[in-house]
Chains A and B, each alone.
Chain A
Amino acid sequence: MKKIINDPETVVRDALRGMRAAHPDLLTVYEDPAVVVRADAPVRGKVVVISGGGAGHEPLHGGFVGRGMLDAACPGAVFTSPTSDQVLDAVTKTDGGAGALLIVKNYTGDVLNFEMAGELAETEVRSVVIDDDVAVKDSLYTAGRRGVGGTVLLEKIVGAAAERGDDLAACEELAKRVISSVRSMGLALSSCTVPHVGSPSFELADDEMEIGIGIHGEPGRQRVPVGPASEMVAALLDPILEDLPFASGDRVLLFTNSMGGTPLIELYLAHGIAEQLLADRGITVERRLVGPYITSLEMQGMSLTLLKVDDEMLELWDAPVHTPALRWGV
C-alpha cells in the first residue's frame, strides 16, 4: 500500500486538520467528535441541512459545507458511517431555531446512526434517505438502493432552498422531489485500498471492469471485459434512462463523476459521449457537473447521475454557493 499518510488510524483526523488549514474562512472543524461546520454557524432562523457518511468519498460531504449548501457534515472512519453522537453534535452546533434536515445515504449503518441521532435531538429533525443507485435491482431482497451521485445534487439544491429561507417542511418536500427524480450508476476500472485494510477491496484483471459498483469499494453486479468508452457510457446511461424512466422532451442535469482515480481527460471524453446519447434521445441537458465530487478513494472509474429538473430545481442549482468544492455566484 502506497499512500500519502502517516498512520492508517489517524487518516481521517489528519485530513480534517488539513481541511481546517485550507479553508479557515469557510469551515470550523471539530475533532472530538469529528464534525465540519460552516464558519458562520449557527445562522439564526435558517433550516440547517446536515449530512455525513464514511470518509473516503471526498469532497463529499465536508467539501460541501458552506453558504448555500450544507451547514454541517459528519465524517465517519473510512467507508464507515458516522456515529449518532457526531450527528447529534452537528445538529446542536448548527441549530438556528428552525429545525434540521438530515440527508442520509441509504446504507444500513448511516440510516441507523442518523435515526438514533434524530431520536435524541432536542430540536425538530426530519430525515430524508437518498437511494438513487439503479445498480441495486430488487430492493425486496436487499438493504435497498444505495445513495450515490444524486446526493451531491440533492445537497446543493436543498441547501439553496434552506439558504433562501424555506421552512423545514418545504425543504423536506423538495428533497423528496429531488430523490424521486434522480438516478445514478457507476463502474470501476480498478479497486481501491482502505488504509486500515492495506490491500485492495477486490481484484480486477487488467482487461476487466466492474459494472454497478457502489462507492465503498464493494464489488458490483457484473464483471465484464473492458470495451471502448462509448460502451462504458452506454452501460451506465441505459439502465438509468430505463429506470425512472427518462423520455424524449425531458430536461435534465447531467453529472459525470470520477471515482477518484480517473483523470479529467477521460471524464470529459465520457461526458461528451453521454451528452450525445442524451441528445439522440431528445433529452435536453439543462445543466452539467463534471469532476470528482463523490469518490471511492483512488478508484479508477466513473458514475453518471441524471436528475430530471423543473424550473425551481434549476433556480436553486444556479443559486450562489460557497464551499470548498463548489463555488459560484459569489
Chain B
Amino acid sequence: MGCTTADVVTALRAAAAVVQEHRDELVRLDQAIGDADHGENMRRGFAAVVSKLDAEEPETPAKALKLVATTLISTVGGAAGPLYGTAFLRASTAVADLAELDGDAVARALRAALDGVVARGKAEVGDKTMVDALTPAVAAAASSTGSAAEALAAAADAAAEGAESTIPLVARKGRASYLGERSAGHLDPGSRSTALLLRALADAAAKA
C-alpha cells in the first residue's frame, strides 16, 4: 500500500510535532559543540511548515515536499535551512508525478535528498554531520523491499544508529569543527534531528 498525499501531509505534521517536542534537546546538543541555535531554528521552520499546510492543500506528495523545502529555506537560516531545504527539494523532484509513494519511491527520495545535502554541504561520512545519519538511512531504505512504511522504518533505525555513531567523532564540518578534539564525546545535533525526522515520518507511515 502506498502513501497518499494526505498520508504524506499527516507524516509531515507529525515530524513538525516531534521537532517541537525535541527543541530543547537539540538546543542543548548544539550548545555543547555549536552555537545553540539548531533546536530553535528547526522549531521555527517546522512551525512555519504547519502554518503553510493549514493554509493550502498540496495536490501531490511532491508538492507537499516542495512546500516544506521552500518554507525551511525561507525560515530556518543557519546551515540547517539550506541543507534540509535542499534535501526536501530534491526528494520532491525525485517523486515528481507520483500520486502515491511506495517503498521504492521513498528510497529514491531519500537518495536524492542525501545527494542534495552532500552537493551543498560537501560533508562526507565521518565528518560528524547529518550525513552520518542520512547515509545509512538511504542504504537501509534501498535494501528494504517492502512498503513505504517499511522503507521508512528501516531508514529511521539506520539513521538512529548513524546519529549515535557521531558521538566519538571529531567534527570536520560546521561550527563544531572549530573545537577540534573537544568536539568528540558529543552527539551531533544535525544527525540527531535527521534521525528524529525519519523516525517521525516512519511512525506516521506505519499508522497510515
Known: A81-B78, A116-B82. A143 touches B37 (CB 8 A): no
B interface: dominant SS: helix
| A residues in contact with B121, CB < 8 Å | 108, 112
Q: Is the CB of B175 within 8 A of A80?
A: no
A54 and B37 alpha carbons, distance in the complex (Å)? 10
Q: Chain B nearest CB: distance from A83 CB in Å?
A: 5
| A residues in contact with B175, CB < 8 Å | 107-108, 143, 214, 216, 218
A135 and B180 alpha carbons, distance in the complex (Å)? 11
| A residues in contact with B179, CB < 8 Å | 218-219
Q: Chain B nearest CB: distance from A214 CB in Å?
A: 6
| B residues in contact with A214, CB < 8 Å | 175, 178
Q: For the complex, is A84 an interface residue (Cβ under 8 Å from B)?
A: yes
CB-nearest residue of chain B relative to A196?
B40
Q: For the complex, is A151 an interface residue (Cβ under 8 Å from B)?
A: no
Q: Chain B nearest CB: distance from A7 CB in Å?
A: 13
Known: A107-B175, A108-B121, A112-B120. A218 touches B78 (CB 8 A): no
Q: For the complex, is A146 an interface residue (Cβ under 8 Å from B)?
A: yes
Q: For the complex, is A328 an interface residue (Cβ under 8 Å from B)?
A: no
| B residues in contact with A76, CB < 8 Å | 77-78
- B94-129, CB under 8 A of A: which get 1 and which 0? 000000000000000000000000001100000000
Q: Chain A nearest CB: distance from B58 CB in Å?
A: 20
Q: Is the CB of A112 within 8 A of B35?
A: no
CB-nearest residue of chain A relative to B171?
A142
| A residues in contact with B80, CB < 8 Å | 109
Among B21-71, those with CB < 8 Å from A are 27, 31, 34-37, 40-41, 44
Q: For the complex, is B145 an interface residue (Cβ under 8 Å from A)?
A: no
Q: Is the CB of B37 within 8 A of A194?
A: yes
Q: For the complex, is B81 an interface residue (Cβ under 8 Å from A)?
A: yes
CB-nearest residue of chain A relative to B172?
A141
Q: Is the CB of A112 within 8 A of B82?
A: yes
Q: For the complex, is B79 an interface residue (Cβ under 8 Å from A)?
A: yes
Q: Is the CB of B77 within 8 A of A116?
A: no
- A70-107, CB under 8 A of B: which get 1 and which 0? 00000011111111110000000000000000000001
Q: For the complex, is A262 an interface residue (Cβ under 8 Å from B)?
A: no
Q: For the complex, is B74 an interface residue (Cβ under 8 Å from A)?
A: yes
B31, B79, B180: which contacts A108 (Cβ < 8 A)?
A: B79
Q: For the complex, is A239 an interface residue (Cβ under 8 Å from B)?
A: no
Q: Is the CB of B77 within 8 A of A201?
A: no
Q: Is the CB of B182 within 8 A of A217?
A: no
Q: How many residues of A contact B (CB 8 A)?
A: 37
CB-nearest residue of chain B relative to A139?
B177
Q: Is the CB of A113 within 8 A of B81?
A: yes
| B residues in contact with A320, CB < 8 Å | none
Most buried by B among A33, A81, A135, A201: A81
Q: Is the CB of B73 within 8 A of A79?
A: no
Q: For the complex, is B5 an interface residue (Cβ under 8 Å from A)?
A: no
Q: Is the CB of B78 within 8 A of A109?
A: yes
Q: For the complex, is B76 an interface residue (Cβ under 8 Å from A)?
A: yes
CB-nearest residue of chain A relative to B182?
A219
| B residues in contact with A78, CB < 8 Å | 37
Q: For the complex, is A17 an interface residue (Cβ under 8 Å from B)?
A: no
Q: Is the CB of A77 within 8 A of B172?
A: no
Q: For the complex, is B75 an interface residue (Cβ under 8 Å from A)?
A: yes
Q: For the complex, is A306 an interface residue (Cβ under 8 Å from B)?
A: no
| A residues in contact with B174, CB < 8 Å | 108, 143
| A residues in contact with B83, CB < 8 Å | 112
Q: Chain B nearest CB: distance from A105 CB in Å?
A: 12
A-B contact sample (17 more), CB < 8 A, given A79-B35, A81-B81? A54-B77, A76-B78, A80-B41, A81-B77, A83-B76, A108-B79, A108-B121, A109-B81, A112-B79, A112-B83, A112-B121, A141-B170, A143-B174, A196-B37, A197-B27, A219-B179, A221-B178
- Interchain residue pairs with CB less than 8 A apart (10): A77-B37, A81-B78, A81-B81, A109-B77, A109-B78, A113-B81, A115-B82, A143-B178, A197-B40, A218-B35
Q: Which 6 A-B pairs have the closest CB atoms?
A: A142-B177, A109-B78, A112-B82, A109-B79, A108-B79, A216-B35
